[in-house]
Amino acid sequence: MTEIYEAIKRSAARIKDAIAFDDTGYSENINSTGDTQLKLDIKSDLIIEEEFAKVACIKEIVSEEKEGKTPLHVEGIYSIGYDPLDGSSLIDVNLSVGSIFGIYEGGFAGANLKAAVYVVYGPRVELVIAHENVTLYRLNQKGEFVFIKEITLGVKGNLNAPGATQMGWEPRHKAMIDAIFADGYRLRYSGGMVPDLHQILLKGGGLFSYPATSDVPKGKLRMIFEVFPFAFVYEKAGGAAINGKTRLLDLTPSHPHDTTPCFFGSQTEIERVKQCYAK
């Protein structure tokens, strides 16, 4: 596992430089989800693939930017699902973006996740590793990720990050979000799941939701690259993550790009979601 973390750290340092200095424009490619790829999406994906190719314990990888799996080492044991540059459409307005990694053993199912890592490219570059516990690292001027602290979520927080287009929310979802705000929670939402979930984790808790909507009934966020890794992080930090009713890590996608409605938060807020979606 350490070798994988080191490859992710090398990738993160290289991606940070690409974000800072490369062309932020669009390429002529369209990815498997139908999004036009930024040149930075393609470059970040190549950097990660290059670094993972050096690690013998990685059997296969699947990227949000590619349709299928890429085999790496036959003797490898880990399968890695990753989103090289999540929220990349925020780069042109200079907001924070991230990379997300799920490290699986025995196929891409929530139950097979062994560790999760994400990187936030903000004013500073931070990296979070979830394995037995959740730990925060920050990139220093020597290019090293220095341990900062262990992250744990409070039982109840005070931040609310309500995702997806409100026009398409179910009435029960809207009622729940309104009630949460009426209880004094503060809105914190940038439109990038990495910084939005990172903020809730570091500020003690709250709720991030990306529900089913009338136009996207299976949600937008992808299980393998986005949802499972963050569900793992939140659970290991003492919080919870569900699709409304079921624990996210109990789900198994039938296709690498399958999506799901998702809710991540502290125990109190997730209990509230369960009550709302039980109706």
Q: Minimum CB separation from ligand F6P for residue 140, in Å?
A: 26
Taking CB under 6 A as the binding criterion, the range among 37-45, 133-141, 174-182, 190-198 that sits at the site for ligand F6P is: 190-198
Residue 192 contacts ligand F6P per CB under 6 A:
yes
Residue 200 contacts ligand F6P per CB under 6 A:
no
Taking CB under 6 A as the binding criterion, the range among 47-55, 65-73, 185-193, 245-253 that sits at the site for ligand F6P is: 185-193
- Dist CA 51 CA 12 (whole Å): 10
* Other Cβ atoms closer than 10 A to 32: 14
Q: Minimum CB separation from ligand F6P for residue 143, in Å?
A: 26
- Dist CA 270 CA 245 (whole Å): 10
Residues in the chain: 279
Among 4, 153, 193, 262, binds ligand F6P (CB under 6 A): 193
**Nearest 5°: phi and psi at 114?**
-105, -25
Query: What would the x/- binding string for ligand F6P be over residues 132 to 151, using CB under 6 A?
Result: --------------------
Contact 270, 241 (CB under 8 A): yes
Residue 212 contacts ligand F6P per CB under 6 A:
no
Q: Between 71 and 191, whose beta carbon lies closer to ligand F6P?
A: 191
Among 87, 205, 211, 261, binds ligand F6P (CB under 6 A): 87
Q: Between 192 and 205, whose beta carbon lies closer to ligand F6P?
A: 192
Residue 221 contacts ligand F6P per CB under 6 A:
yes
Extended beta strands in the chain, E state:
26-30, 36-38, 58-63, 69-71, 78-86, 97-105, 113-121, 125-130, 134-139, 145-150, 159-162, 186-187, 206-210, 240-242, 262-265
Taking CB under 6 A as the binding criterion, the range among 1-9, 125-133, 187-195, 253-261 that sits at the site for ligand F6P is: 187-195
- Dist CA 265 CA 71 (whole Å): 34
Q: Is the dihedral of CA 148, 151, 154, 159 positive or negative?
A: positive
Q: Minimum CB separation from ligand F6P for residue 188, in Å?
A: 13
Residue 60 contacts ligand F6P per CB under 6 A:
no
Sheet holding 206-210: strands in order across?
Answer: 186-187, 159-162, 206-210, 262-265, 240-242
Query: What would the x/- binding string for ligand F6P be over residues 160 to 179, using CB under 6 A?
Result: ---xx---------------
Q: CB-based burial of residue 92 (10 Å sphere; 0-12 exposed, 13-18 middle, 19+ buried)? A: exposed
Structure tokens at 225: 């690259």
Q: Between 19 and 221, whose beta carbon lies closer to ligand F6P?
A: 221
Which stretches of the chain bind ligand F6P, using CB under 6 A?
86-87, 163-164, 191-193, 220-221
